[in-house]
Amino acid sequence: MKSTLITITFLFLSIHLTAQVSQSIIGKWVPIKTDFYSDSELEDTVKQNSNKTCVSYIEFLKGGTIMTKDFTSNCEEIKAAPGTFNHIGEDWYKISVDELKDEEVQIQIEGNQMKMYINTGERSKAVALLKRYNDENSIKVNKKETSQASQNIIGKWAPMKFEVYIDNELESSKKNNNNNKCRSFFDFQEDGVIMIKDFNPDCEEIKVDPGTFNHIEDDRYKISIFKFKNKEAQLQIDNNQMKMSINITEESKLLLFLKRYSAITDTKAKKEKEDEIMYKDGVKHGLAKYYYPNGQILRTGYYEKGLKTGEWKAYRKIGGLLYIGSYKNDKATGEWKYYDAVNGVIDAIGNFKDDQKVGEWRYYYENGIIKMIGSYLNGKKEGKWNEYFDNEALKSTGYYQNNEKIGVWKFYDKYGDLIKNEKH
């Protein structure tokens, strides 16, 4: 427990702040020492080792993220696990990091000093002292960090296409549904962090945790992104194009094709047609029509007192449905149909209840053949699930419980022969 508390001040990586957070916390902070108290008496003090060449620090960003840099005495970087904190009022926060789960912590800032008070027991606590980071040190550290990786990767990249390979055979391919109104991107930053912006078809932002990248040698990196943690990847850049190959397992890999953000049409291009939204007493009420920058219809539906209600439709930029479904009190309900963003064929059909997937869902290949069929309970996979090849042959079958595979799963080849049994 004590070792956890000593390092708590530089272990955070992905933090979500509320609008109530004091702006005085924004910036870089250097851990100085941690005092341990029992019955209000000082029991122990642990000072943080410092090195002017490589200074450990925490950086609080306005966007709600805390990025951490920590080093050994030899200036070798130490990778830290991500944590979270939420502002709960005044100078109190809830922190989850390492062994601490939803611990209430008090943070006080005076001038260039910060104190963090952590209750370690009914009669004991730890007090961590930090000082605001010196800009001159910041320059030195950044030079060291950026020299370890190719500068070509730094900047924003828009994902264009995703491909999954198993045993070197293409298993699936999906083009990203980008548009000039809300374009997703990866932002590779000089300190090894990947900030991610993603949007749903309605151009509503999807919250995605930051990732990390660490240069190994040549075009090889260690990548942590989405659900993939510390996976070895190859990043190849040709002018404004990037191909990222991530080894998922020994048999499978993910290919991401990206284009440099600056080489794509300006996302702030003037729209040819303005959105048409009805209001009542200053609140969205009635028919709403949203448009792409090129004037094509993006989505239509109704609001009732500011909440989505009734049938909503979204469309592809070139025309044709992207999805159709209903809302009740701003929550998805009833049957929804999704269509492929590229060719417009049916992609998935299923039901929602209170914004959660429920009952049977069917997913389809581009040729209309069922790719996968199974059920959800409160948004989680439950019961029997079958997956098929595009020739309608059974690929795998098994059961889920609370979104986890259980029992024996069976896997087949395209000719119907059993390949293996997998016990969970």
Q: Tell me: the pLDDT tens digits for 390-414? A: 999 999 999 999 999 999 999 999 9
Are residues 184 and 197 in contact, defined by beta-carbon separation less than 8 angstroms? yes
Task: State the pLDDT at residue 64.
Answer: 61
Q: Which two tokens stand for residue 22?
A: 């004091």
The more confident residue out of 45 and 9 is 45
DSSP state of 271: P
Hey, what amino acid is at 279? Y
User: Which residue(s) pair with 172 in the sheet?
Assistant: 164
The more confident residue out of 71 and 280 is 280
Residue 370 pLDDT class (50, 70, 90 cuts): very high
DSSP state of 68: E
Are residues 332 and 325 in contact, defined by beta-carbon separation less than 8 angstroms? yes
**Mean of pLDDT over the chain:** 78
Residue 360 pLDDT class (50, 70, 90 cuts): very high
Residue 321 burial (CB count, 10 A): 14
Output the pTM of the full model.
0.43
Q: Is 294 exposed, middle or buried (0-12, 13-18, 19+ CB in 10 A)?
A: middle
Q: Which two tokens stand for residue 418?
A: 């059993």
Q: What distance in Å separates the CA atoms of residue 318 and residue 349, rounded to the nearest whole number?
A: 22
Q: Which two tokens stand for residue 125?
A: 């606590």
Are residues 197 and 191 in contact, defined by beta-carbon separation less than 8 angstroms? no
Q: What distance in Å separates the CA atoms of residue 423 and residue 413, rounded to the nearest whole number?
A: 18
Q: What distance in Å separates the CA atoms of residue 268 and residue 266, rounded to the nearest whole number?
A: 5
Give yes or no for residue 288 having a pLDDT over 70.
yes
Give yes or no for residue 177 having a pLDDT over 80.
no
Taken in order of first residue, the domains within the chain and their CATH numbers are: 2-144 (2.40.128), 148-263 (2.40.128.490), 276-423 (3.90.930.1)
Q: What angle do CA 360, 362, 365 make, to 5 degrees?
A: 170
pLDDT in tens, 120-168: 776 778 888 888 876 444 433 333 333 344 557 888 888 888 888 887 7
Q: What distance in Å separates the CA atoms of residue 117 and residue 302, rounded to the nearest whole number?
A: 49
Give the residue among 360, 358, 333, 362 at the shortest CA–CA distance from 346: 362
Give the residue among 245, 205, 197 at the shortest CA–CA distance from 221: 245
Least confident of 58-72, 218-232, 373-387: 58-72
Are residues 156 and 186 in contact, defined by beta-carbon separation less than 8 angstroms? yes
Phi-psi region for residue 46, left (φ > 0), alpha (ψ -120 to 50) or beta?
beta
Hey, what amino acid is at 250? E
Residue 304 pLDDT class (50, 70, 90 cuts): very high
Q: What distance in Å separates the CA atoms of residue 65 and residue 406, rounded to the nearest whole number?
A: 36
The more confident residue out of 374 and 282 is 374
Q: What distance in Å separates the CA atoms of residue 424 and residue 409, rounded to the nearest whole number?
A: 8
The more confident residue out of 132 and 70 is 132
Q: Is 204 exposed, middle or buried (0-12, 13-18, 19+ CB in 10 A)?
A: exposed
**How much is the CA Rg of the chain, to the nearest whole Å?**
25
Task: State the pLDDT at residue 100.
Answer: 64
Residue 423 pLDDT class (50, 70, 90 cuts): very high
Give the residue among 51, 31, 191 at the shortest CA–CA distance from 115: 31
